[in-house]
Amino acid sequence: MGGASIKMNEDGSFNLLVGATDLGTGSDTVLAQMVAEVLGVPLDDIIAFSSDTDFTPFDKGAYASSTTYISGTAAVNAAQIVAEKIKQRAADMLNQKLNVSTFVASNVTLATVAPYFLTVSPSP
């Protein structure tokens, strides 16, 4: 059983909290890459925290190469929830109905009569 939680920071970056321990397998990087892909942000915008029982979700432990599958599924599910909340918030801010929307290069694109764009993270 894997667990993952994602928090959006004020600068547009995201904290990925996972209970799985990276034992040199690169799982922190792999999980961050999976989340970055779902959210449509650069990997540098994902800050991974793992194995700190003070604030990461419960996880049964390291499970060799299964970490990508087990904790990766939890991380992707968490990212999908966050993405949906960001899209809904963007639609609310622009007084638009949430229609077909996508993340493109750290921007939320809402498909409406006229295209609206809302930047998720600040430009460098």
Question: Mean pLDDT in each 10-residue stretch from start to end of the chain (124 residues)?
Answer: 88 89 85 93 92 74 74 91 85 69 52 48 50
Q: Which residues contact 110 (CB under 8 A, 6 or more apart)?
A: 87, 90, 91, 94, 96, 98, 99, 101, 116, 117, 118
Q: What is the pLDDT of residue 123?
A: 46
CA atoms of 21 and 16, how far apart (whole Å): 13
- In this structure, are residues 1 and 66 in contact, taking their beta carbons and an 8 Å threshold? no
Q: What is the pLDDT of residue 79?
A: 93
Torsion region of 77: left, alpha or beta (phi above 0 gives left; psi -120 to 50 gives alpha): alpha
pTM: 0.77
The domains of the chain, with CATH numbers, are 4-119 (3.30.365.10)
Q: What is the pLDDT of residue 48?
A: 93
Residue with structure tokens 């949906």? 84
